[in-house]
Structure 1
Amino acid sequence: MIFFILASTALNIVGSIFLLTGIAKVIEPWKFTQHITKLNLVSPKLTIPVALTFTAIESALGIALILGVFPTVIMPVSILLLFGLSMLTYWSTSTGKTEDCGCYNGLLKITPTQSLILNAIYIFLLIFGEFFGKYQPTILWQWLVVLITFIISYALAAGSLEYMQENGRPFIDFTPLKENRMWQIEWLGEDSKSLMSGSVIVVFMSPECSQCKHWLGVLKLVQWQDNLPAIVGLIDTENIQAGQDFVDKYFLNFPVVAVDKKFYRKLKIEVVPTAVLLEDGVIQEKWIGLMPMWFINKIK
């Protein structure tokens, strides 16, 4: 009896993890999409469909494990998935393609080693659940719940991504950089004072970010026009000289401040470029990855 309870608990734990990570990807699918892009294993045209499909599968697997749907198939599939993801994590992080596994989509900050250890624990729990669990035959309503979870997860993730692409900001924002909030002086110290009056666009960038380089030409044009907000760039490097080298390399006409990487983590900047439009120090809009077309159309 005790082994049956432990087995059910083990599967509920792993199922809940799958479901939570799936939900995290549904809320912020652009992060997972960017992670897949870095892996460079699929065609750019397939990146979004692959990200959305994986998100839906992950959520559906979580529900299937919790409900005990067809365990003789679902559990081996889950074990193989975790094993494959572990190999992918080891390869991508050891080759420098990614910094982490991308599994938790920013929900949990862990090192690659910690990710591999957690995956090993999940695999152990699944094996334990498969050998010691006692399961009833799967009935129709359970299959329907799994199928509905797959469809809803895919649709919500697609909708969340479309909203981001159309509006340049997430539908649900968990970061300190939210609309109608004040920019905090302590975030940049003395450098924050110039942001507290007038219209200013603060752009979070990284020297290694290819998309950031596409933004630079537009930002330089914006800086030249008096009727548009001023531009202030931030790059995640502690080396002040590296910041100046970045300015010189791209002939930037706007100020760039080099900041500690911890600053990006504090403000939960996980995708670059990210920009915020300030009016007298109040955040009016937030753009992640894409500059909205209405603003681009204002540039002469």
Structure 2
Amino acid sequence: MENPMHLQVDQRTTDWRLIIARILETLIGVILLLAGLLKAWAPMDFNQQISDYKIITHPALVTVIAWVMIVVECALGTALIVGYKRRIAVPAAIVLVLLFLAAVGWAWVTGATEDCGCFGSWVKRTPAEAFLEDAGMLIAIVCAWLLSRHEPLRFARWRLGAVLASILIGISVTALASNSARQSADPIVRLQAQSSGKRQFAGVAVSGIDFDLQRGKYLVMLMDTGCTHCQQSVPEVNRLIASSNAGFRIVALCSNSDKEIDWFKGKFKAEFPIGRISYDDFMRLFERGKTPRLMLIQEASVIKIWDGVVPAANEVRY
């Protein structure tokens, strides 16, 4: 006959293992659910992030993957939080995080994209940072699986209801957001949705240049001094200045320091003026564009946008 004291100790050990496992699962579940809802709120941004990995680029397939990922993250995150079907949800979460690691590892090795992470466009992470974060998530969820595989039997219907509700919410938010102006495929429409009026550059404070962007016609380049794409575009922009007689001026804007701007001008021989704007203004104007973003503006209103490319002089004229 077994010792009752021995059984009591085993039960306490099991309880503690289950408690720790559930805490870890809940933390990972919250991360996945929040990530899914944020992506649902900005589905076009998530589409762009998937395309940036350059693994899958067909627009229709990217859209399908984005919707599926939103549903999976919402459902799996909720399942981990409420403890529904642990023997399925926890291994599924392990597989999902492994997929994240594979994609981020690809981006890290190939340099396909400079921004990664669970939270889409809401939180910027380098591939290295995202890889370490995903590795931490993998360790946590694997530990939860090893600590306890106990399957809760009570309130199964309520747990299932919570999972189904999260799926419905994720799909509904994605559908609504996809049809909003701020998620339009047209960058000018998106900028107008984020601005109080049609003059997107109205009220933007610029230092370091003598031009008044509120008046006249300009080709504005949004750039970062540390961006390799921006650095490589300098010769093209210089040539555009030399060949341009369309009656507009070329100005670059960034949120870098004066020291970083001086370094950029000296090293890459930029022949165009570079002004400084606030980080908030920079991110609002850049939104989900590609560097460098060039914008033709007149009287502070954006007329045309080119993302990741320098237009020819005849393209700028209108």
TM-score, with length taken from structure 1: 0.69
Partner residue of 2:249?
A: 255
How far residue 183 of structure 1 moved from its aligned partner, in angstroms, is 2.2
Where does the alignment leave 5 or more consecutive residues of structure 1 unmatched?
A: 199-229, 290-299
Q: Does 1:30 align with 2:44?
A: yes
Partner residue of 2:75?
A: 60
What does 1:83-98 correspond to in 2, within 5 Å? 83-98=98-113
One-letter code of the match for 1:245?
N
Q: Distance in 2 between matches of 1:252 and 1:56?
A: 52
Partner residue of 1:8?
A: 22
Say if 1:236 and 1:264, in contact at 8 Å, map to a contact too: no
Q: Distance in 2 between matches of 1:145 and 1:101?
A: 29
Q: Say if 1:252 and 1:11 are closer, same or farther in 2 by CA, change over 3 A.
A: farther
Q: Determine what percentage of the aligned residue pairs are the same residue.
A: 22
Q: Say if 1:106 and 1:42 are closer, same or farther in 2 by CA, change over 3 A.
A: closer
Query: What is the aligned residue count?
Result: 253
Q: Say if 1:43 and 1:244 are closer, same or farther in 2 by CA, change over 3 A.
A: closer
Q: Say if 1:183 and 1:124 are closer, same or farther in 2 by CA, change over 3 A.
A: same
How far residue 102 of structure 1 moved from its aligned partner, in angstroms, is 4.3
SS of residue matched to 1:100: coil
Partner residue of 1:70?
A: 85
How far residue 13 of structure 1 moved from its aligned partner, in angstroms, is 0.8
Q: Does 1:18 align with 2:51?
A: no
Partner residue of 2:190?
A: 169
Q: Say if 1:165 and 1:16 are closer, same or farther in 2 by CA, change over 3 A.
A: same
SS of residue matched to 1:169: helix
Q: Distance in 1 between matches of 2:62 and 2:85?
A: 30
Partner residue of 1:294?
A: none
Q: Say if 1:144 and 1:235 are closer, same or farther in 2 by CA, change over 3 A.
A: same
Say if 2:30 and 2:77, in contact at 8 Å, map to a contact too: yes
Q: Say if 1:280 and 1:76 are closer, same or farther in 2 by CA, change over 3 A.
A: same
Higher CA-based Rg: 2
Q: Does 1:136 align with 2:152?
A: yes
How far residue 131 of structure 1 moved from its aligned partner, in angstroms, is 2.8
Say if 1:7 and 1:129, in contact at 8 Å, map to a contact too: yes
One-letter code of the match for 1:24?
L
What does 1:194-209 correspond to in 2, within 5 Å? 194-197=212-215
Say if 2:46 and 2:121, in contact at 8 Å, map to a contact too: no
How far residue 30 of structure 1 moved from its aligned partner, in angstroms, is 1.6
Where does the alignment leave 5 or more consecutive residues of structure 2 unmatched?
A: 1-14, 226-230, 257-276, 308-317
Q: Distance in 1 between matches of 2:121 and 2:279?
A: 10
SS of residue matched to 2:190: coil
Q: Say if 1:102 and 1:116 are closer, same or farther in 2 by CA, change over 3 A.
A: closer
Q: Distance in 2 between matches of 1:113 and 1:107?
A: 17
SS of residue matched to 2:220: strand
Once the two structures are overlaid, the 10-residue window that deviates more, 89-98 or 1-10, is 1-10
Q: Does 1:244 align with 2:237?
A: yes
Partner residue of 1:126?
A: 141
TM-score, with length taken from structure 2: 0.65
Partner residue of 1:183?
A: 203
How far residue 170 of structure 1 moved from its aligned partner, in angstroms, is 8.0
Once the two structures are overlaid, the 10-residue window that deviates more, 84-93 or 67-76, is 84-93
Say if 1:11 and 1:65, in contact at 8 Å, map to a contact too: yes
Q: Distance in 2 between matches of 1:261 and 1:185?
A: 11
SS of residue matched to 1:190: coil
Among 232, 247, 257, which residue is 2:219 paired with? 232
Q: Say if 1:243 and 1:42 are closer, same or farther in 2 by CA, change over 3 A.
A: closer
Q: Which string of whole-angstrom CA distances, capped at 9 and with x for unpartnered residues, describes residues 200-225 of structure 1?
A: xxxxxxxxxxxxxxxxxxxxxxxxxx
SS of residue matched to 2:152: coil
Q: Distance in 2 between matches of 1:155 and 1:117?
A: 32
One-letter code of the match for 1:31?
D
